[in-house]
Amino acid sequence: MINTSLFDLTGKVALLTGASKGMGKSMAEGLAEHGAKVVVSSRKFDQCEETATQINEKCGEGSAVAIASNIGYKDQLQSLVDQTHEKLGKIDILIANAGVNPYYGSILDIPDEAYNKTMESNVRSNLWLAKMVAPDMVEKGSGSIAITASVGAFSGSETLGTYNISKLADIALVRNLALELGPKGVRVNAICPGLVKTDFAKALWDNPEAAARANEGTPMRRLGEPDDFKGIAVFLASDASCWITGQAHTVCGGTNMWG
């Protein structure tokens, strides 16, 4: 009989931040559809609870639990990990998807507060989370960490400069974690979305001119949708990617095929 369990996540515990809507919600749903128990986390508990309820209705009761957490606070992240242990057990999969972009404009004009918030939320919080969950994975001799970066990491921008810097730093963080954790059986990768129709990126696509430019400049001739990220999440979480680590995977409809 042919073994078809390559993407089977039955028995795995997955923790996702920024998971109450958009790409994070779709990735959480994809993992649950393939058997994982998922923690849906973001700042607002009611949104987390709504998403967890929808996943449970689709995948079976107990497939998802909601835990609110703000990635900007180390104690809240530690509480998130501790509550995950209490509710579901030790963590096999981490998708650090939450991020911020508090400033839109020239990097020469960015206030210190906005710069600090961008770098701390988008980079430091991911290191905090990786350090918190890595012991679970090291103990098991296996595990997968994915950090959401961006295709913006591969270019400059007159309006998103600091955000792009933070995402390139995320890729550097992924590479270093992959180097250090690889000998212990833990894989670490970056997911780099192109322009996706989410609330987070609404200012970049929610007008006819911007949408037309994005569609015409994309080989697949459409913007990304949140569900386009189910596959990459399941792939990186599963044994299907068991020899892939330290990579920046672009999911962009072809816009960054040379990035």
Instruction: Convert the pLDDT of each residue in 161-183 to its tens digit.
Output: 999 999 999 999 999 999 999 99
73-to-95, 128, 163, 259 alpha-carbon distances in Å:
18, 10, 19, 33
**Residue of 73, 103, 104, 163 marked active site:** 163
Place of tokens 């939320």: 121
Residues 99, 18 contacting (CB under 8 angstroms): yes
Which pLDDT does position 208 carry in this prediction?
A: 77
Q: Quick one: pLDDT at residue 205?
A: 54
Q: What residues have CB less than 8 Å from 114, skipping those under 6 apart?
A: 102, 103, 162
13-251 under CATH 3.40.50.720, yes or no: yes
pLDDT at 257: 86
Neighbours of 23 (CB within 10 A): 29
Q: Maximum distance among all alpha carbons in the chain?
A: 63
Q: How far apart are CA 20 and CA 47, in angstroms?
A: 6
Q: Please report the pLDDT score of residue 203 as a whole number.
A: 64
Give the Å distances, CA to CA, from 30 to 74, 91, 106, 181: 28, 17, 37, 25
Query: What residue ranges of the chain have pLDDT lower than 70?
Result: 200-206, 259
Q: Annotated catalytic, 104?
A: no
